[in-house]
Amino acid sequence: MNLFVKICVSFGLILLSLYFISAKPLDHYTCGDICTEDYDPYCVIFKNGTVAEFTNVCKLELETCKNKYEFLRTRSGACIRVG
């Protein structure tokens, strides 16, 4: 191999390594962008049985990501309160 080919191959491997390093999520990964205040409610039932209402799907996804929430189901619309 001549020197030019060795340099090109080395440079390509460096670029490939940098791509995989940058694609790996960091420990301080942010969960998303700032959400709007649009009102399009989502009702969520968490695995522990609690019910919560989020202003919109963006806020639901943001809180789920930040706090690692696990929920049983969700539906578009406000939560129905009984009683």
How far apart are alpha carbons 25 and 22 in whole angstroms?
Answer: 8
Counting the structural domains of the chain, the total is 1
- Whether the full predicted model's pTM is greater than 0.75, yes or no, is no
Asked if residue 57 belongs to a domain, the reply is yes
- Spatial neighbors of 72 by CB under 8 A, at least 6 apart, are 45, 46, 47
Asked if residue 81 belongs to a domain, the reply is no
Q: Which residue has the higher pLDDT, 82 or 57?
A: 57
Asked if residue 63 belongs to a domain, the reply is yes
Q: What is the pLDDT of residues 52-66, one digit of tens each?
A: 888 888 888 888 888
The predicted pLDDT at position 34 comes to 78
Which string of DSSP letters, residue by residue, matches 38-73? ----EEEEETTS-EEEESSHHHHHHHHHHHT--EEE
Mean model confidence pLDDT for the chain: 70
In this model, does residue 9 exceed pLDDT 70?
A: no
